[in-house]
Each structure stands twice: as structure tokens, then as C-alpha cells.
A and B are shown apart, each in its own frame.
Chain A
Amino acid sequence: MSQRRWRTIGLTLVAAALLSIWVIPVLWALLTSFKTERDVLAYPPLVFFEPTLANYREVLFGASSILPNLVSSVIVAGSATVLTMLFAVPAAYALARLALPAKRAGGFYMLATQMLPPVGLIIPYYLILQKVGALDTYGGMTAIYLTFSLPFAVWLMVSYFEDVPQEMEEAALLDRAGRLRALWHVILPQVRGGIAVTTIFVFLNAWNEFLFAVVLAGNRVRPVTVAMFNFISVEQTQWARLAAGAMLAMAPVIVLGLLAQRHIVKGLTVGAVKGGGRR
């Protein structure tokens, strides 16, 4: 066998080993979600077992149904995403294009907020929400999610706007479009991909968020991440139900990821090659 062939096999094995670091936990959760609680605790772990849908029935329609929590997650993540994009797109356009005073400082400040550890913000957030009576409300959670998703979205969208040639916008201005119509008819259609990627990232960040949700909400507003946490208690941990809940919570993430895969890869390399991220 040629050296080249061995190289290919070697590289494939290394790639598979690295990939397994990400795949095995998901696979473990998937298998666990079809086991009975007894099979879960069997030692050595069972590879072959009689699969059951009881866990899914329980987490969907049973006493500990997470359906309301999925709905909560959709409301919080959905409204955070819509509001974020509504503000982030014009803000990013302004930062990319307009001659604003303190533009660089403002941009840096926004990036800096991304570097703060979230846990450091929990106490001030808690106190503020408590003062305004927004603890454990949809409004409060959405507002808190905006604080980190908005800077992130603006920062990401700026690079997409900067990628659109200035001349194209100038052509639209000369064609008597004015700033707003130039933005709507000429610029936005060209950053569609960027808007899709940013929307998905913002949604997923909010969907996966746990820390703020468990501290600043958790009773009336209980997103699915918090609900899953409740399967773990002092007396016992319901591993199989937890796994079934996790699979359900993961489903939208995976679906969105697959849908946007092409855009996401393009989006992450934006600016790497001139014009590479557009179209």
C-alpha cells in the first residue's frame, strides 16, 4: 500500500478520535434516553438493551412534562432574538458606515462587554430586576438576554456590512434612493447570509443559556435548561428522563445548525478573502 494511502488512513483515525470527543456524550445521551432507569445504572454499562419510549412519554406528557418549559424557552429566546436583530442591524450599519463620534471607542466598549464573565453580572442584574419588579418575568429575562446578545450581534453584523462595497451604496444614493432605501433595497439583500447566521447564533445562545435563567427566573418563567436541571435532585437523579429532555432540547439546535450549516461556514470566514463571505 502506498504511503499516501497510509497517510489518509492515519488522518482519518485522528479526525475520528477528535470528533468522538464531541460525539460520544451526545451518543451517550441518545442511548440513555431510550433506557429504563434500571438499565441506566447497570454496571458495566449496557450496550445492548431493550429500548423504551417511556422516558419521552414522561417528559412530554407525564407529570414532569417539559412542554411548558420548551414553550418558555421559545418565548424568551424568540423575543430576545427578534429584539436583538431589530436593534443590531441598524446599529451595525451605523457603526460600519457612518462617521460617528467616538465610533472606535464605542465599538471597543461593545466588544469589551463580551469579555466580562457572566457570573460577575448576576448580582447587579438580580438587584436591578428585583427593584423594577421584573424578576422571574418574560420581560426581565428578555432584557437580560439582550445585554449580551445585542453587542455580540452588532459586532458580528458590522463585519458583514463592511464587506459590502461602499461604491454600491454610493451608486444607490446617486440613484436617488436616499440612505434608508439604499439600506433596504441594496445593502440588506447583500447581508442576508449574515443576518441568517447572526439570528441563529443569537437564538442558540439564548436557548442554551442556563446561569441567568436559573438565578433570575425559574418559577413562573422556567426555560427548558432549568427544567432539565430539576431532574437532578438530592435524593436521586433521573438520568433517563434527563437524557430524553436533553434530546428534545437539543433538537431545535441541531435542526437550525443543519439548516444554516452552509451560511455558518461562510459567515465564519467572512473577510478572510475579499468578497468571500458575500453572495
Chain B
Amino acid sequence: MNSGGRVRLEGIVKRHGALTVLHGIDLDIQPGEFFALLGPSGSGKTTTLRILAGLEPANAGKVWLDDQDVTMREPGERDVAMVFQSYALYPHMTVGENIAFPLRMVGMPSAAIASAVREAAAKVRIDHLLERRPGQLSGGQQQRCALARAIVRQPRLFLLDEPLSNLDAKLRLETRVELRKLQRSLGVTTVYVTHDQEEAMTIADRMAVFMEGRIAQSGTPAEVFARPATIAVAAFIGSPPMNLLPAHIEAGRLHVADTQFDAPPSAGADGNVVLGVRPGALRIASNGIAARVELVENMGDTAIVDCTVGGTPIKWRVDGVPGVREGDTVYLTAAQEALHVFDATTGQRR
């Protein structure tokens, strides 16, 4: 429907007084891509989105939309539509009037507006609610109304700020899938802010992980999951997240707790490191690291076994019912390619 929609951010810096919240953000988002800005709260992802929308000025850097420099343009001149976390529906207008509003503002003839509104509402299945007021809708319906208001304009870019966070867990899962399908069918570039790593992993083509005002890593969800670039990203991605154990490398051997084994080839020079292992990559082996079982969380088809290794808590994910009980000692290991080695001082992947 809309062939454009390439987004580039170049060295975006944002300061609030003495506090720098964005330290030079660079992003390149391709037309039609579903791109997630992922990060814990306060990491700068929403600020980045707002700068992209033109709702906040950047202190330095440039915003490009389809090779046009829009850094100084007003929000209304950028041809972007946004769905806010609070939905920001206009409470005094009906659903139909809400959806029609962006078209009315550009002076579209009313017959064309009416058919565009019906079409947009049908896409998100609220065409039977056009006469209602936002206050008479459920949370999920309000969210759809906000979506319809965004898609009715056929903008070149959608900005979604945590659009699912106000929905209950079940509805969130359903809407996530629908949102993805809707975006595919419209083909409009979408930038999606979320703090929920699972949401970003499942919905995005690519994502950028924000940490303290910087992009710690960007790539496809699979890449980021498979090779987290820093300790912080490793600790943030995955459910439950990666286990991180203090370790050191000496003469090609990796020393963890009281055990040692061959370091992976990429592990690099001698020194202190942090060893990362995904909970699902652990398995029992007689030559493994001794771990004491503290708690077994049974979830039906899988179980999470909470253990401690030399005082450090770790999680071990087991398919089916684990044959261990609280107080047992188990010996755990992982395949060499499942080990992630991070430098203990820089936090970077080795």
C-alpha cells in the first residue's frame, strides 16, 4: 500500500537539563519493517520514539524519513501516525468521529471520510461500535479504535508506544498476533516500543535493545537471543533470562566455582570473565558444576529449577517433570557452543 517508510536516525542526542538521556542513537529501519525498540524503563526508547514523531526536539543529530531530513518538521508534517500507551482517544467524540478526525483535519470530502472510516474500523473489527463513545468501550476495543485512527490515514510510518501494556495477559497475546498480521497486510513501516522482551522477540522483524540511553545491540530477535553483545542484554533477553556466573580464564581453561573445563575458542585471553548459559541449555552430567536445588517451579510441560552455584542463583529449565527435589545436589553442564563469555570489566561479549 505504501512503498516508502525508510527511517534513519543519525547521532540523536537528547538532554533534560544536565541529564543526558540519549547518547547518540543511530538506527536504520527499512521500508515495511516491524522494528521494536526494546529496553527497561528509563532506557530512552520512548524518548527515541517521540523524537521520531516530532513531539520532542533532539539536542543533536538528524531524523530522516525516506531521504528527507525531517529533524525540524512539526509532528503533523511528518506523515506518521502514533498509537499511544494511553490510546489518547478523544473522549467527547464517538469512535467514528475519532477515526475520522485525522481525515477531517486534511479536509477530505465527507463521503470519502465515511467510507475510509468504515474500512479502517472493519480491519480492526470495531465497525459495529462506530456510534459509541470511547468511555463505553472495553480496553481492547479502545486499543482497536486507536489503531483504526492510525491506519485510516495510510501514513508512511506507524509509531506504537507500548500499545499492549494496558491489556490483560490473554488479550495481549491475541492482540500481538493480530497486530503483526495487520502490519503485514498493510506493509507500513512500524516502530514499536516495548519493555517486554518476549513481545519484541515474537513480533519484530528486527529490534534494538536500549540500555541507559544507548543502543546496546540491534539485529533480528534470533541474532540477539543467540549472541547477546553485552552482559546487560544477556540478562534482559530470554524468559527466564540467561544465567550469569563469575568465572576466570587461565591457560585456555575456564574456571567456574570449583570446576574447570576447556574454554570455548572465542573466549580470548586470560582474565576475569562472566560466563553466561541459558537455562534451557543446561543438562545433567557427572563432570558438571555442583548446584544445590533450592526450589522446583513446576509449570506442567516444563519446570524451572532454582539452584545456587557457589552462592550465585541460577535457573535450570527442564522439559517434563524434573527428577530432583529441594536440597538435592545436581551436576550441571552445557555444550561448549551454548556458552557465552563476557569480559568482566567491560561487560562486552568476548
Set of chain B residues within 8 Å of A50, measured between Cβ atoms: none
Distance in angstroms between the alpha carbons of A172 and B98 in the assembled complex? 10
Given known A-B contacts A165-B86, A167-B88, A279-B91, A173 and B135 have beta carbons under 8 A apart: no
| Residues B74 and A175 in contact, CB atoms below 8 Å apart | no
B140 at the interface (CB under 8 A from A): no
B82 at the interface (CB under 8 A from A): yes
| Residues A174 and B90 in contact, CB atoms below 8 Å apart | no
A185 at the interface (CB under 8 A from B): yes
Of the listed stretches A39-47, A62-70, A176-184, chain B binds A176-184
| Residues A173 and B86 in contact, CB atoms below 8 Å apart | no
Total interface residues on B, CB under 8 Å, equals 25
| Residues B86 and A175 in contact, CB atoms below 8 Å apart | no
In this complex, the member of B76, B84, B153 whose beta carbon has the largest number of chain A beta carbons within 10 angstroms is: B76
Given known A-B contacts A168-B90, A190-B92, A174 and B105 have beta carbons under 8 A apart: no
How far does the Cβ of B256 sit from chain A's closest Cβ, in whole Å? 49
How far does the Cβ of A187 sit from chain B's closest Cβ, in whole Å? 10
How far does the Cβ of B33 sit from chain A's closest Cβ, in whole Å? 20
Set of chain B residues within 8 Å of A256, measured between Cβ atoms: none
Residue of A165, A181, A189 touching B88 (CB-CB under 8 A): A165
| Residues A175 and B55 in contact, CB atoms below 8 Å apart | no
Given known A-B contacts A174-B81, A175-B76, A279-B135, A185 and B101 have beta carbons under 8 A apart: yes
Set of chain B residues within 8 Å of A181, measured between Cβ atoms: 105
Distance in angstroms between the alpha carbons of A61 and B286 in the assembled complex? 112
Q: Which parts of B36-59 form the interface with A (CB within 8 Å)?
A: 53-55
| Residues A170 and B92 in contact, CB atoms below 8 Å apart | no
Q: Which parts of A177-213 form the interface with B (CB within 8 Å)?
A: 177-178, 181, 185-186, 189-190
| Residues A175 and B92 in contact, CB atoms below 8 Å apart | no
Residue of B82, B89, B105 touching A176 (CB-CB under 8 A): B105
Annotate B80-122 by CB proximity to A: 1 below 8 A, 0 otherwise.
Answer: 1110111011111000000001100110000000000000000
B288 at the interface (CB under 8 A from A): no
| Residues A170 and B88 in contact, CB atoms below 8 Å apart | yes
Set of chain A residues within 8 Å of B76, measured between Cβ atoms: 173-178
Given known A-B contacts A167-B86, A170-B55, A175 and B91 have beta carbons under 8 A apart: no
Set of chain B residues within 8 Å of A165, measured between Cβ atoms: 86, 88
Residue of A168, A174, A189, A190 touching B53 (CB-CB under 8 A): A174
Overall SS of chain A's interface:
helix
Given known A-B contacts A174-B75, A177-B76, A167 and B106 have beta carbons under 8 A apart: no
Set of chain A residues within 8 Å of B92, measured between Cβ atoms: 189-190
| Residues A186 and B135 in contact, CB atoms below 8 Å apart | no
A251 at the interface (CB under 8 A from B): no
B149 at the interface (CB under 8 A from A): yes
Distance in angstroms between the alpha carbons of A279 and B81 in the assembled complex? 26
Q: Which parts of A29-82 form the interface with B (CB within 8 Å)?
A: none
How far does the Cβ of A46 sit from chain B's closest Cβ, in whole Å? 55
Total interface residues on A, CB under 8 Å, equals 19
Given known A-B contacts A175-B149, A190-B91, A167 and B84 have beta carbons under 8 A apart: yes
Distance in angstroms between the alpha carbons of A178 and B102 in the assembled complex? 11
A171 at the interface (CB under 8 A from B): yes
Given known A-B contacts A177-B76, A178-B76, A171 and B105 have beta carbons under 8 A apart: no
Distance in angstroms between the alpha carbons of A171 and B75 in the assembled complex? 9
How far does the Cβ of B167 sit from chain A's closest Cβ, in whole Å? 17
How far does the Cβ of B84 sit from chain A's closest Cβ, in whole Å? 5
In this complex, the member of B77, B89, B92, B149 whose beta carbon has the largest number of chain A beta carbons within 10 angstroms is: B92
| Residues B149 and A173 in contact, CB atoms below 8 Å apart | no
How far does the Cβ of B154 sit from chain A's closest Cβ, in whole Å? 13
Distance in angstroms between the alpha carbons of A233 and B81 in the assembled complex? 71
| Residues A170 and B84 in contact, CB atoms below 8 Å apart | yes
Set of chain A residues within 8 Å of B74, measured between Cβ atoms: 173, 178
How far does the Cβ of B112 sit from chain A's closest Cβ, in whole Å? 16
| Residues A175 and B105 in contact, CB atoms below 8 Å apart | yes
Set of chain A residues within 8 Å of B149, measured between Cβ atoms: 171, 175
Smallest CB-CB A-B distances: 9 pairs:
A176-B76, A175-B102, A171-B88, A167-B88, A189-B92, A173-B75, A176-B105, A167-B84, A168-B88
A interface list, Cβ under 8 A from B: 165, 167-168, 170-178, 181, 185-186, 189-190, 278-279
Q: List 5 A-B contacts (CB under 8 A).
A: A165-B88, A168-B89, A170-B84, A175-B153, A176-B105
